[in-house]
Amino acid sequence: MADQDRVVVVTGASAGVGRAVVNEFARQGAHIGLIARGRDRLDAAKREVEEAGGKALVLLADVADAKQVDEAAERVEQELGPIDVWVNVAMTTIFAPFLEITPDEFKRATEVTYLGQVYGTMAALKRMHARKRGVIVQVGSALAYRSIPLQSPYCGAKHAIIGFTDSIRSELIHDKSNVHITAVMLPAMNTPQFSWCRTRLPRHPQPVPPIFQPEVAARAIVWAASHKRREVYVGWPTVEAIYAQQIAPSFADRYLAKHAYDAQQTPEPVSPDRPDNLFEPAPSEYSAHGIFDKRAKSYSAQSLLNLDLINLTAHRGLIASAAMILAGLAFAGLKRRS
């Protein structure tokens, strides 16, 4: 199927990585269903799609509501055609020590970040399974394998997504289905979440450096939608975190306890009028990028290798082994310095 004929659905399409994914698919001429809660940002995303030569359908929906997600999928199929690719990106979180998070806050972050992907997968798979074709892309994180402090709702949800996805993958294999499900693990990204997610930190939240632009993630996600990979790791920090967790998890616990509090905060205090999108969309004109443009990298050398942009596909196992060795050496060095 030609790229320009593909029907794609993206959740969390109005900002951050989701917005970057939308723009990447738009450049291929795809027809895209845009799911999010904020009308103004969705309308802006639609204009960008059309300017790039694609076609877009705005779908106001809260991914934590299974009925709304299924109704959005039905509208896509009625107005754009059968869904070829579904990308689950939507998320929210709260930055705070666990004991300072209320049950309602934790529940809401879990419903959006984890159950949002479950409901998106349900809506997509119900339609794809009957046709015996389609691709579902789960947008994950290095934090799905190596949790960090101050983000327990987000880390828990990302871990759950991997467990859920592995289960569904096995079922698809059992059914000899041609539907493919994959997960893309991301490093720290320069997105608006650090400016509008709820926080109880004394200073402004930031992604743990090194930071990457959302277009780095978008290119990997769009690539994953056309290639049969079980998982795709984006950026050396992701590879290092995942393999270091396998090598020295107890040391990682202690290292992050010592360093990850400051690493997740800028020197600036949190603004008293900071927007908050945990329960309602935050008013803002943010699109794909957050406030860390000056510090964010626009490319990842690791992704160039991993996405087969040069002829190293046959050596992915060797690269993974080398990454494990490098991660072990890195942690050994950190342990000596500590």
Residues known to be catalytic: 154
Q: Report whether 95 contacts 102 (CB < 8 A).
A: no
| Residue 64 to residue 87: CA distance in whole angstroms | 15
The SS3 of residue 231 is strand
Q: Which two tokens stand for residue 37?
A: 């809660």
Residue 132 backbone zone (phi > 0: left; psi -120 to 50: alpha; other: beta): left
- Compute the distance between CA of residue 79 and CA of residue 82 in angstroms, rounded to an integer: 9
Whole-angstrom Cα distance, residue 117 to residue 141? 13
Contact 92, 278 (CB under 8 A): yes
| Beta strands 188-189; 135-141: pairing state | unpaired
Strand-pair partners of 315? none
Q: How far apart are CA 300 and CA 217, in angstroms?
A: 9
User: How do beta strands 203-205 and 265-269 pair?
Assistant: antiparallel
- Cα separation, 276 vs 286, in Å, equals 13
Strand-pair partners of 10: 34, 87
**Per DSSP, what are the bridge partners of residue 58?**
34
